[in-house]
Amino acid sequence: MRETFHQETLDALFDDARARSLFSTTFVVLDLETTGGAPDGGGITEIGAVKVRGGEELGEFATLVNPGERIPPYITVLTGITEAMVLPAPRLDSVLPAFLEFAKDAVWVAHNAPYDTGFLKAACAAHGYPWPKPLVLDTAALARRVLTRDEVPNHKLATLARWLGNGRQPCHRALDDARATVDVLHALIGRLGGHRVHTLGDALEFVKAISPTQRRKRHLAENLPNTPGVYVFRDGRDRPLYVGTSSAIATRVRSYFTASEKRARINTEMLAAAERVEAIECAHSLEAEVRELRLIAAHKPPYNRRSKFPERVVWLKLTDEAYPRLSIVRKLAADGGAYLGPFSSRRVAELAADGVHEVLPLRQCTQRLSTRRPSAACALAELGRCPAPCEHRVSPEEYTARAAAPFRAATGGNPGEVVRRLLTRMRSLSEARRYEEAAAMRGRLVAFLKASVRMQRLASFTALSEVVAARPAVDGGWELAVIRHGRLAAAGASPPRVHPRATLEALLATAETVRPGPGPVPCASPEETERVLAWLERPETRLVQMAAGWASPVDSAARWRELLTTAEAASSSVVRSGD
């Protein structure tokens, strides 16, 4: 074994290996000869490796290995390695540590690398050595990306060595093949500049199957801050195409130009139309999430699927009439009506309404009824499904007590009466072996109870005129947030080793003024308020100050949360089994 040494700088010792230029990266180009079997911890007959950096060869490693098994005749014909040659050679358990030390901290390179690294990984496992998890560059895969079929007939090592005009040719001996692979590697690196591949990370990603659009537009990820915030892909007319958020903007945007991006509409259509990426730095992750939601709602980018239409949520309203009924509305109003929601779609609201109509004798007709003049009854009255207030068979007071009051109680505090009636109905259907109807009743229960839990949770929080909270930051400072009526009014961060009070006072002085509205979430979208709640409910978040007490009724919908979780899990399992 012959090796020369090179003194690294301190910067090179601590930097990111993927960020190094290909010129300054240390490669160990290796090749194995084996008995031809599957990787099982043995079977290696020869190891050859060459360490290179910047076009200069720093050292070589070569040894025969006694595999401890017979070498098949066709392997001897192919490689020229006989059993007599390997009999005096060292066993793999004594060779392996020396090779691992030689290749330590370098990038491994091989032609058809999975074959060679597979044998070495199995050998490490068999002999008790930890796998070093090296970065691996495959010259065969790299050649397939750089060279076309018009240039070379195939991508075998011998073909590439001849086509590239190398003086060294492979001959199925480990060190000679490793030397030939070095020349192929250098020739391929020379071609990478034209593809704007200059660093090791670029080369590793270039080998992967990324689209031509991703490769052509990867410069859009340059010069972005690696801080928490929002990124916006914009087209040539500066229109937002896609809005996203990340705790590290630069890292996240770079991922759009790698093989990890699997969404076809993103890595072809959206990237093809994108001309620049705008970065909006934020104080912390909560501010980034809220800004993302607001930008998506304001611009409705074509390649965002979620959160685009917060205005499309609907509510189930108990109308303010002598004989109230349920109505699906889009907005809350201070009109004395009882509201349940928000629901993400009209279909879910109708499901919850069906559950309420199943157990409460609320009328389902839409006309306004007079307390003085009766009107004609509908078919539901004839079937006994409605108390027929239209014909004055029931007084307004009795109707309110039997039908309207339980629903109003469910929206304001205790949904227990409605929930228990739905459970009773569901059990009776199940006992009668009407399982499909029981499953449909369970779906109505889930829609109703989920809306009750959600609305009461939002209502108790949005009633607070101001909440100030802090969360420890990763760097040792504090993430600060001022929330008013469920809306993020200000966000900031105090630096490490500095008391956060000064930053907090500045945030309070400049925070957005938020006035209360008629319902649980009139000051922000339900999704924004729930993101803020999730941030506040983290164990490490601390409440600094509040304008008033934060509480929910003791008999609120939250006490049915365990039932809701069980019912949702049952519904999901039925859907999966049906698929």
What is the spatial distance between Cα 570 and Cα 579, in angstroms, rounded to a whole number? 14
- The token pair at 108 is 């491994």
What is the spatial distance between Cα 393 and Cα 182, in angstroms, rounded to a whole number? 95
Rounded-to-10 torsion of CA 82, 83, 87, 90: 60
Cβ contact 86:69 at 8 Å? no
Handedness of CA 299, 301, 306, 309 (dihedral sign): positive
Instruction: Given the residues 127, 155, 172, 186, select the one marked as catalytic.
Output: 172
Taking residue 62's Cβ as centre, other Cβ atoms within 10 Å add up to: 18
What is the spatial distance between Cα 370 and Cα 323, in angstroms, rounded to a whole number? 9
Query: In Å, what is the CA distance from 228 to each residue of 19, 244, 281, 299?
Result: 21, 11, 6, 21
Taking residue 577's Cβ as centre, other Cβ atoms within 10 Å add up to: 7
316 Cβ contact list (under 8 Å, min separation 6): 326, 327, 328, 339, 340, 341, 343, 349, 352, 353, 356, 451
Rg, the chain, Cα only = 35
Using the structure block, give the residue that is written with the tokens 């105090």: 494
- Strand-pair partners of 235: 274
Please indicate whether residue 172 is annotated as part of the active site: yes
Cβ contact 438:450 at 8 Å? no
Provide the annotated active-site residues.
172
